[in-house]
Amino acid sequence: MTPSEIRSLNRRRKRVNAVILIAFVVGVTLWLFIFTGCWPPAVVSVLGTPAAWIRDRFKDADRPVDKLVERLLLHPWCRPVLCTVVGAWLLFCCFVGTLVVRSEDAAQRAITVHRGMAASIYNLPSFGALRIPCWTSFVMAADVRVDDGRLPAAQRRVYPWHVLEIRIPDDLIRPVLLLRPSRKLIAAAVPASDAHKPFHIEIHRGNRAVLRAIFDGHAILVGAGPFSISRENVQAWTEELKREQAHSSTLQLWKDPTPAFADVRLSPGEELSIKLMLPDGSVDNTIQVICGRPTSPEDIPQVVDLP
């Protein structure tokens, strides 16, 4: 090859390698900004030298740094190494997704994010947002659960290359039923001995039974896992029991409900049939319930009295 052909080949090689390098750095920077909220300040200095070469049409520079990077770009192993790094980064991104928890009100709260068996506590500022990267995959998406302690937790799935946003409290406000048994029903259902046969609660959608759970005297949640009953409800129940001169243990059974139907997803306006099954399998009582449309945390849960 003639010297002019060699120079032309070197310029072409530098140009291609520099474009790959710049695309890689820009891609990583954008990925960090979108999926973690970080904007690395060093990106300007990293991009400065290759960008200057492209702007100057890869003319020789006098700075030692330019000569060093130019020599690296002309190295035979430069392009294979760059392609390997880009491929490894793309593979890494296929196992990372991001959960964004955004506050929609002025309240500052501590939230708990459950990822598998691990749980982490974060401080969510008022009208602020948290970006939480999660390990996941296309085959087995990561299940995450966000709980603020006052409302039913939101459970979602995070996929790679995806930013999942959960707004608090809007995404936590949904129909939830609290089946509150009467004192008479509690007395009949609480086992007096090991030979006691349990009562059951069945929930029907139309003619189909959704789930069946043992009733042991505790209140039962439908449509949510464990969460704190509001202070207003507890105070109202306390006053009710005082008027009836009832034992305080009843209040504890109401305040500590069993999340027997946590996986049931309720819709506003949905009609359910709640059946109380006696130990012999017969139906003692059937209650028709229409799920309300909660608009604030005070509307959760919807209390349904079981006579």
Domains observed in the chain: 3-93 (no CATH), 96-172 (2.60.40.1120), 177-306 (no CATH)
- The DSSP annotation for 228-263 comes to PPPHHHHHHHHHHHHHHT--THHHHHHHS-EEEETT
Q: What is the mean pLDDT of residues 175-188?
A: 86
How large a percentage of the chain has pLDDT more than 70? Answer: 85
pLDDT given at position 63: 59
Q: Give the least confident one: 15-24, 67-76, 91-100, 133-142.
A: 67-76
Beta carbons of 133 and 147 less than 8 angstroms apart? no
Beta carbons of 119 and 136 less than 8 angstroms apart? no
pLDDT for residue 44 is more than 70: no
Reported confidence tier of residue 196, pLDDT bands at 50, 70, 90? low
Reported confidence tier of residue 148, pLDDT bands at 50, 70, 90? confident
Beta carbons of 166 and 289 less than 8 angstroms apart? no
Lay out the sheet containing 163-168: strands in order across: 129-135, 96-103, 163-168
Amino acid at 287: I
Q: Give the least confident one: 129-133, 159-163, 277-281.
A: 277-281
Q: Give the least confident one: 63-77, 106-120, 128-142.
A: 63-77
DSSP helix, strand, coil percent of the chain (3-state; round to 5): 35, 30, 35
**Cβ-based burial of 57 (10 A; exposed 0-12, middle 13-18, buried ≥19):** exposed
Amino acid at 19: V
pTM for the whole thing?
0.70
Nearest to 190 by CA among 279, 304, 285, 280: 279
